[in-house]
Structure 1
Amino acid sequence: MNPKLVAITGTTGELGREVAERVAQSGLPMRLLVRDSDRAPQMPNTDVREASYEDVDAFATAVSGADTVFLVSLPESEQRRALHRSAIDACRQAGVNRIVYTSFTHPSPDAVFTLARDHYDTEQALESSGIPFTALRNNLYIEMIPTLVTAGVIRGPAGDGQFAPVARTDVAAVAARVIVDGFENNQRLEVSGPERIDLHHAAALMSEITGQPVRYINETMDEAFQSRAHLNATRFEIEAWISSYTSIAAGEMSNISDTVAKLTGRPAQTPRERLTQYLSTATTSC
């Protein structure tokens, strides 16, 4: 066991990559776990292993010798709970000392947001594994707000409910701090932005920042299913997407925490600050 080696999953995605970049700055040795080694980012003091969550033996071999594993939750699917449990079981077999997991705010077995139920199940699996862990209960990413807009409209059954979206880059900073410095184990950290907004506010921000009109339409449940019927998606996925709006309406995403400020030493970015920066960067890179 290398007392400092950090194994990081999800590095071909934006969050995992930024966490790895931040951990690399600390000088800790890293191992990047990817499905395809050709897609792994190039970083100093790092080796790469191919592994997938569903292959317990391969994943256990890949994390063997690691002290800490940063476990990024998989995209939504009906298999996600089982795959997360497989990865946790592999970490247990390999003797990993700690797992840092990307959970979601308000996880519970009967959460309105159906995907939050998956995160509850994963947290239960972590608890049962005996491996010390930190669950980062992240709110919706601010960077997701532009993806809600289609033809100048955000639509969904969220009513006037509020949520406290957090910048993905702030989540990465928190995760890196937890990984590098360590904190009390078996804890759940709420990670949110500094203010609550509703989707009317989100649409107004998008309009102001982009210069293009954006409005929010509050749908009924029937309207929500009808407006998404044309999508190439499973019933499971559509129900999950719609439940993110009804979860906002139910207040499940309204928690505000000071975790970002406490762990990074700076205030969490507001939706206006992050969207202005993010959309400017996206425009420049196009």
Structure 2
Amino acid sequence: MAFIVTTGASGRLGGRVAARLADAGVEQRLVSRQAAHLAPLPAGAHVVSADYGDFESVRRALEGASTVLFVSASESADRLDRHRTFVAAARDAGVAHLVYISFFGAAPQATFTLARDHWATEQHIRDSGLPFTFLRDNLYADFLPGMAGDDGVIRGPAGDGRVAAVAQDDIADAAVAVLLDPGAHEGATYDLTGPQALTLHEVAATLSEVTGREVTYHDETLEEAYESRRRYDAPGWQVEAWVSTYLAMAAGELDGVSDAIEALTGHPATTLGELLSRE
């Protein structure tokens, strides 16, 4: 019997999707590198452990699936290679439809370095011949509060650029709509955004108003951005990704509001203020 595979099920997005599919009575297989963290399991689900970079474990995990939600792998220097392995395994397993969680503005010359990897993954999926749908998420609105340091300052070289950040609950709702009727969305690419494109000054003002914590935004120079992140002792590719997120805002590459959330889910996209008020 055909079933849906949800990857990244121990993560924030995959877990949300798995819970919604369970509520809809869907039989699903949950795939995670951290299978032990998935207890208790949603109704109608069972779990398998697989690593995206391990062709055989992924092929076994996906075998027999009608539709697969492909949540991108955790950030790493070899993430694109792991994605390629996953796609090859999905094709070998006979997956009927692949729904890939991509990124807003994915392009080979995107300012945000990881958006280039998402574009390359999309191209690899296209070349594989697998039926697909791409969900290109903007930045997660849920993560915006964490951009402020302990001193309440958001730091980054974003200038007055805007970001149409989207709530993870909205993404999960959209993903489920596609997973439940994949044929209606075959070959489609959806930009998933919030209902507003905000500057980081506006983000800081909203955080202050709703949470009661004073938050401000400091527009760093490029030199300041790299220096302020030096203390994390992170690898170069990761620091580049962090800084280029803000540069992408400055370049206008995270601006632009889509109606895809409402079109797919039937409800309007969540504003940042609404999201914060729920927490």
Match of 2:89 in 1: 90
Q: For structure 1, which segment, 248-257 or 269-278, has the greater mean C-alpha deviation from structure 2 after superposition?
A: 269-278
Question: Residues 107-256 of structure 1: matches in 2 within 5 Å?
Answer: 107-150=106-149, 151-182=151-182, 183-256=184-257
Post-superposition offset of 1:174: 0.2
Task: Determine the C-alpha separation between the residues in 2 that align with 1:34 and 1:76.
Answer: 15
Query: Percent identity between the aligned chains?
Result: 42
TM-score (norm 2): 0.97
* Structure 1 Cα separation of the partners of residues 163 and 145 of structure 2: 15
Q: Contact 1:247/1:253 (CA < 8 Å) preserved in 2?
A: yes
Give the structure 1 partner of residue 37 of structure 2.
39
2:185 is paired with a residue whose SS is coil
The residue that corresponds to 1:70 in the other structure is 69
In 1, the alpha carbon distance for the partners of 2:14 and 2:130 equals 21
The match for 1:284 is: none
Query: For 1:230, what is the secondary structure of its paired residue?
Result: helix
Displacement, 1:166?
0.6
Q: CA deviation at 1:36?
A: 3.3
Aligned to 2:12: 14
Cα-to-partner distance string for 1:117-173 (whole Å, 9 max, x where unaligned): 010011001101100011100011111101100021001000000111111100000
Equivalenced residue count is: 276
Name the TM-score, length of structure 1 as normaliser: 0.94
Deviations 1:175-220 (A, max 9, x none): 0110012223121111001111000001111111221211100011
Structure 2 unaligned blocks of 5 or more: none
1:27 Cα deviation from its structure 2 partner:
1.6
Instruction: Indicate the RMSD between aligned Cα atoms, in angstroms.
Output: 1.0
Q: Is the 8 A contact 1:72 1:101 kept in 2?
A: yes
Distance (whole Å) between structure 1 residues aligned to residue 212 and residue 272 of structure 2? 16
1:75 shift after superposition: 2.1
